């Protein structure tokens, strides 16, 4: 037992101290896309400098001194994870990692170079596997993706082609794709007769090519992937004998069926997750509304809010204007600070409604 733990410690320390090795570079490919996205989001055009007076300049220097002290404190907090990666025993770090989820490991990998090298090392694949198993009913990692790549596909809502935010996943292609990119026929051709006319007949008879369903305002139906198709065709044409090609086709047909089965499981899992998340958000909205009604009761305006809810619900069979109000219809816990911000606006709205109601 002690030998195994010591061996694990040595492997992990070696991985943490290794930077830009081939092993780490391969393992980190799944994060490079996301990091590029973050950097591009931070790029902003420089604003034109304003001329200031000597008096305002002195005030700004004073404020700058205060801000720099605050910034130093923040930077110290941001460096805490990096210090933990160096100072805390490896066994403790690994034990903590095993109780996290893959999305947490992805975020940790972006906090410091040390944690990135540690988490992206292939020696920690069991840690990623343990983290994945903490997610209820999440399908296993497919054979053609590493655990970090699989986590990136599941949890990072970024189009793999243009970096836009997108929720849908093309599971068969192992990528996310926005509507504009999915409408590009040069990348995603229709899965039809014209598509197969350019390929060996065996590709169709063995059903080896991945396909996915694209539903956008521009197109609807099954689509292929030109890059994957070209790679398959190149592999097939390098094989010389009939036996080699048959073996390759059988293997690809098996992989294709496994991919379709996995796509179905992932789509089911994501659908359940979205339904559960929607339920959680609805509960938060309902709780916020009840908390607001309690606060309104304390200041004598709950009765008017209930009149709005009852009367409009009977007429429209929809959520009433009070529940739909921007300050009420939020999946966010109501705090004392938040209540003080929205109180006057709600009271004004209720007062106007009461005045109109009494006039009629």
> pLDDT band for position 270 (50/70/90)?
very high
Exposed/middle/buried for 150, CB within 10 Å: 0-12, 13-18, 19+? buried
Task: Give the CA radius of gyration of the chain.
Answer: 28
Q: Which pLDDT does position 311 carry in this prediction?
A: 78
Q: Which helix (H) or strand (E) holds 271?
A: helix 242-298
Which among 200, 196, 198 has a CA at the least distance from the CA of 211? 196
How confident is the model at residue 52, as a pLDDT? 46
Residues pairing with 212 in the sheet: 223
**CA–CA distance, 22 with 28 (Å, rounded to integer):** 10
State yes or no: pLDDT of 91 exceeds 70: yes
Question: Cα(105)–Cα(98) distance, rounded to whole angstroms?
Answer: 10
Residue 215's pLDDT band (cuts 50, 70, 90): confident
CA atoms of 218 and 231, how far apart (whole Å): 27
CA distance 331 to 281: 5
Of 89-93, 103-107, 177-181, the range with the lowest mean pLDDT is 89-93
Mean pLDDT on 333-351: 95
pLDDT band at 176 (very low <50, low <70, confident <90, very high): very high
Distance CA 349, CA 135 (A): 44
Q: What is the mean pLDDT of residues 79-100?
A: 79
pLDDT at 315: 54
294 Cβ contact partners less than 8 Å away, ≥ 6 residues apart? 302
Q: What are the sequence ranges of the domains in the chain?
A: 1-31+64-156, 158-238, 273-359
Provide the pLDDT for residue 220. 86
SS3 string, 138-153, reads CCCCCCCCCHHHHHHH
pLDDT of residue 33: 47
Taking residue 92's Cβ as centre, other Cβ atoms within 10 Å add up to 10
């Amino acid at each position: 037992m002690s030998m195994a733990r010591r061996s694990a410690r040595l492997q992990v320390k070696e991985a943490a101290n290794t930077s830009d090795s081939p092993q780490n570079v391969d393992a980190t490919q799944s994060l490079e896309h996301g990091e590029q996205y973050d950097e591009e989001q931070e790029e902003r055009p420089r604003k034109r400098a304003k001329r200031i007076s000597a008096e305002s300049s002195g005030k700004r220097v004073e404020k700058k001194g205060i801000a720099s002290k605050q910034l130093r404190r923040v930077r110290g907090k941001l460096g805490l994870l990096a210090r933990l990666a160096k100072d805390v025993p490896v066994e403790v770090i690994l034990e903590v990692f095993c109780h996290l989820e893959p999305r947490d490991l992805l975020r940790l990998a972006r906090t410091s170079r040390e944690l990135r090298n540690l988490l992206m090392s292939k020696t920690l694949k069991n840690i990623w596997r343990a983290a994945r198993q903490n997610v209820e009913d999440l399908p296993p990692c497919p054979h053609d993706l590493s655990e970090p790549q699989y986590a990136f596909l599941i949890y990072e809502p970024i189009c793999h082609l243009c970096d836009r935010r997108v929720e849908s996943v093309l599971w068969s292609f192992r990528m996310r794709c926005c509507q504009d990119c999915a409408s590009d026929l040069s990348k995603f051709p229709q899965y039809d007769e014209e598509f197969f006319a350019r390929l060996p007949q065996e590709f169709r008879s063995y059903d080896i090519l991945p396909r996915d369903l694209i539903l956008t305002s521009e197109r609807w139906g099954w689509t292929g992937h030109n890059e994957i198709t070209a790679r398959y065709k190149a592999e097939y044409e390098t094989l010389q004998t009939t036996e080699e090609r048959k073996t390759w086709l059988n293997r690809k047909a098996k992989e294709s069926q496994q991919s379709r089965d996995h796509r179905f499981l992932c789509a089911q899992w994501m659908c359940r997750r979205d339904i559960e998340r929607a339920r959680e958000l609805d509960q938060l909205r309902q709780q916020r509304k009840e908390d607001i009604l309690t606060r309104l009761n304390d200041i004598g305006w709950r009765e008017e809010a209930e009149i709005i809810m009852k009367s409009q619900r009977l007429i429209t069979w929809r959520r009433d204007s009070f529940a739909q109000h921007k300050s009420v219809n939020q999946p966010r816990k109501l705090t004392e600070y938040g209540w003080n911000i929205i109180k006057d606006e709600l009271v004004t709205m209720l007062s106007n409604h009461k005045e109109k109601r009494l006039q009629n």
